[in-house]
Amino acid sequence: MASSKKTAPSKDDPKPVSASASSDELNPKTTQYEFLGPMGAFGMVTALPVLVLFFAICCNKTGYPSSLLISDYKTYFDQLFTGDLLKAMWDPMAMLVYLGFVALQALLYVALPGDLYPGTLLRNGERLKYRMNGFTAYHSTLFIGLYFLKDTGLKPLVFVYDHWIGLAFSSVMFSYVVALFVYIKSFAPGALLALGGNTGNALYDFMIGRELNPRIGDFDIKFFTELRPGIIGWQVLNICFAAKQYLDLGYITNSMVLVQAFQTWYIVDSFWNEEAVLTTMDITTDGFGYMLSFGLYSWLPMNYTLQARYLVDFPRDLSWVEFGAILALNIIGYYIFRSSNSQKNEFRSNPSNPSVKDLKYITTSKGTKLITSSWWGMSRHINYLGDWLMSLSWCLPCGFGSVVPYFYAIYFAVLLLHRERRDDHKCRTKYGKDWEKYCEIVKYRIIPGNESDQKFATT
């Protein structure tokens, strides 16, 4: 039976606009662009799907580019535009399987029980409710899979490897369709728009996301997309690659075991803490458009599985020293990531807890406290460092034959550096002189003791 939980309104909650407010008051025009404006939007809408297809088409048993040098990629790009490509991409069976998987997730989302959690207070005074049944959906998907495989063995799972290009293409197409649907839907009367998604430039708004919380009845399209098809899909695809390796070799390499274990841990962790997603920028602030649709329907499942796919094409047995070193790196990364995030959460929600009551801090004029010792005294985003170390440990089992399996760690570094700048801007605007004082005490941005990090921070 679903229950309803309440959260106390925060003083940072937006002031609701009065019920009689005009549409312009409720949905003011966006006057600032992010991601280089319409040009950047054009780049993201066109180039990112090409990158997904590039990895799908060009990386296979015949080879992966070995470096980041453009010359290394010429033969691969030639391959992109050759004969049988359309045939491989237009794969009705793959499309059917992809759509079937998304439909199954939608069914589980509406049918499974779960507690109802309130979201952030919206500008229109509403607080939406979200059903937390992701963990059950995750397990149900795995059990349904097991049930269907009981008579056939692992063989059907090889479909994923054999139809990878078709699946990648289907995911890209589906993400465009969903993005177009929510963009058109955002013009329905009464829609609450994202503050950053109402510029009036169609391409930019389509990309960044115009409507804040597109829903069909109670079905919240953004919340559903955030964890279900992408993250459960990532898990399922990884399992299919492990099965393919097992059928090819008769065993699973220890490098594959590490990749599977690390990523499964991360996936389970995100479902275990599912309600944490309600306070992320994706849910509270960003509109739902192409960026999230493509990111979660296509980019995440297709690119986060690169390591497992690479290990099918190029299986590796690690020495026990390598195995131990990579495992240690992952544990250190996770320890930094989890304990720093938990320390901040505990300090903010329960400051008298013995584990945080002796931390040093400064009190800002807003009344909020900023920790200046322990994890948060080492650098201003020590949690990002832990997260990035984990991402590196996911790639290292693949060895150094190609740069492609390292794509995740490279992309994630760029994402975290950009996110740190966005967060710094947010805190500087919010805390003013207090933030400057804080930065004088905690000098480093992400890596403790990194002088260039510090120099960059003061520019």
State the distance between the two ends of the chain, measured CA to CA, in whole angstroms.
54
Residues 244-273 that bind ligand NDP (CB under 6 A): none
Query: Using the rule CB under 6 A, which residue among 339, 341, 342, 450 binds ligand NDP?
Result: 341
Q: Is residue 74 a contact point for ligand NDP (CB under 6 A)?
A: no
Reference 124, options 22, 4, 275; nearest CA is 22
* Cβ-based nearer residue to ligand NDP, 23 or 373: 373
* Cβ-based nearer residue to ligand NDP, 95 or 442: 442
Q: Is residue 275 a contact point for ligand NDP (CB under 6 A)?
A: no
Amino acid (one-letter) located at 373: S
Q: Which two tokens stand for residue 28?
A: 């003011």
Residue with tokens 């805390």: 431
Residues 430-459 that bind ligand NDP (CB under 6 A): 430
Contact (Cβ atoms closer than 8 angstroms) between residue 53 and residue 80 = yes
Q: In angstroms, give the least distance from the CB of 339 to ligand NDP.
A: 11
Distance CA 264, CA 249 (A): 22
Distance CA 323, CA 311 (A): 15
Query: Using the rule CB under 6 A, which residue among 334, 384, 408, 435 binds ligand NDP?
Result: 384
* Cβ-based nearer residue to ligand NDP, 101 or 299: 299
* Cβ-based nearer residue to ligand NDP, 131 or 344: 344
Reference 295, options 409, 176, 137; nearest CA is 176
Distance CA 115, CA 294 (A): 28
Residues 195-224 that bind ligand NDP (CB under 6 A): none
* Cβ-based nearer residue to ligand NDP, 49 or 377: 377
Q: What residues contact 6, with CB distance under 8 A and at least 6 apart? A: 118
Phi, psi of 367 (to 5 degrees): 95, -10
Q: Is residue 370 a contact point for ligand NDP (CB under 6 A)?
A: yes
Query: Using the rule CB under 6 A, which residue among 381, 396, 408, 444 binds ligand NDP?
Result: 381
Check residue 63 and report its DSSP letter: B
Alpha helices in 59-84 (DSSP H): 74-80
Q: Which region, judged by CB under 6 A, interacts with ligand NDP, from 123-131, 221-229, 336-344, 349-357?
A: 336-344
Q: Which two tokens stand for residue 82?
A: 């050759």
* Cβ-based nearer residue to ligand NDP, 254 or 341: 341
Q: Is residue 296 a contact point for ligand NDP (CB under 6 A)?
A: no
* C-alpha of 408 from chain center: 11
List residues bridging with 132 in a β-sheet: 115
* Cβ-based nearer residue to ligand NDP, 169 or 435: 435
Q: Is residue 344 a contact point for ligand NDP (CB under 6 A)?
A: yes
Which residues form the interface with ligand NDP (CB under 6 A)? 337, 341, 344, 368, 370-371, 376, 381, 383-384, 387, 419, 423, 426-427, 430
